[in-house]
Amino acid sequence: MTPATTPTDSRTPLVELSGVSKHYGNVRALEGVSLEVHGGEITCVLGDNGAGKSTLIKIIAGLHGHDAGTLSLDGEETRLSSPREALDRGIATVYQDLAVVPLMPVWRNFFLGSEPRKGTGPLKRMDVDLMRRTTHAELLRMGIDLRDVDQPIGTLSGGERQCVAIARAVYFGAKVLVLDEPTAALGVKQSGVVLKYVAAARDQGLGVVLITHNPHHAYLVGDRFVLLKRGTMVGNHAHAETTLDDLTRQMAGGSDLDDLRHELERAP
């Protein structure tokens, strides 16, 4: 899971946010946030609860419009009006709840909402054999050896369900993959499995946005790191420009943590 070599800045980003802000009434959710997402690269967005990560996801995914700044796709300034438009433009978002139907088989969830059909007229029906074969082949191509795609997806582990969602996004032609805290509820081993497939998506040329509050996971795979705090950007680093200790310190509060430590120290 070694981060990819950082490409030259002359390439046009797949997604670029410049000075983006979002307010809900008097609440400042984001203020002046900028980031770039390049193909074959993982951009990690780190921050604690309330840092603005969810709002950032919603803007990139087309759920919410931004109030200030610019959003550009492939160098073209745009404003996404819906998640469907974002998906049509090649942006696939995988949320924590994964939006799967637990009792349906893996292959049905893989094609959910995009089922291929065969036949004509009243005989037109879902092409189940094609969906089964394709699901198995695409999972295998991503390195996921799932023997039985007929098993309910709810019987898979959390890490395996995340991997199915990643493989689905790759199959349906995503250019940008946005992952919302994919390792938040997973143990060490399952987190490692998910990060392996996140890196596999990057190696296939996708631009990946990894939202996380875990600097250790981010540093394993990240090429760029954007740190948010209370809606503002407090850091923007390339992998070669920072260390895990630096990321951890900034995530933990930096100088605020030092002040707290002094306050809690016992008198001699």
pLDDT band of 8, cuts 50, 70, 90: very low
Q: Do the domain assignments include residue 241?
A: yes
Q: Do the domain assignments include residue 157?
A: no
Q: Is the pLDDT of residue 261 over 70?
A: no
The pLDDT of 140-166, averaged and rounded, is 86
The pLDDT of 38-54, averaged and rounded, is 90
pLDDT band of 143, cuts 50, 70, 90: confident
- pLDDT given at position 255: 58
Q: Is the pLDDT of residue 6 over 50?
A: no
Q: Do the domain assignments include residue 75?
A: yes
Q: Which of 58-62, 68-72, 110-114, 144-148 has the lowest mean pLDDT?
A: 144-148
Amino acid at 5: T
Q: Do the domain assignments include residue 259?
A: yes
- Structurally, the chain folds into a number of domains equal to 1
- pLDDT, averaged across the chain: 86
Top-confidence range, 10-14, 64-68, 261-265:
64-68
Between residues 2 and 247, the one the model is more confident about: 247
pLDDT band of 147, cuts 50, 70, 90: confident
The CATH code of the domain that includes 187 is 3.40.50.300
pLDDT band of 235, cuts 50, 70, 90: confident
pLDDT band of 69, cuts 50, 70, 90: very high
Q: Do the domain assignments include residue 118?
A: no
pLDDT band of 145, cuts 50, 70, 90: confident
Q: Do the domain assignments include residue 46?
A: yes
> In whole angstroms, what is the distance from residue 165 CA to residue 100 CA?
9
Structural domain of 217? 15-103+174-264
Q: Do the domain assignments include residue 148?
A: no
- pLDDT given at position 5: 45
Q: Do the domain assignments include residue 165?
A: no
The pLDDT of 231-248, averaged and rounded, is 89
Per residue in 19-35, is it b (16+ CB within 10 Å) or e — as a string? ebbbeeeeebbbbebeb
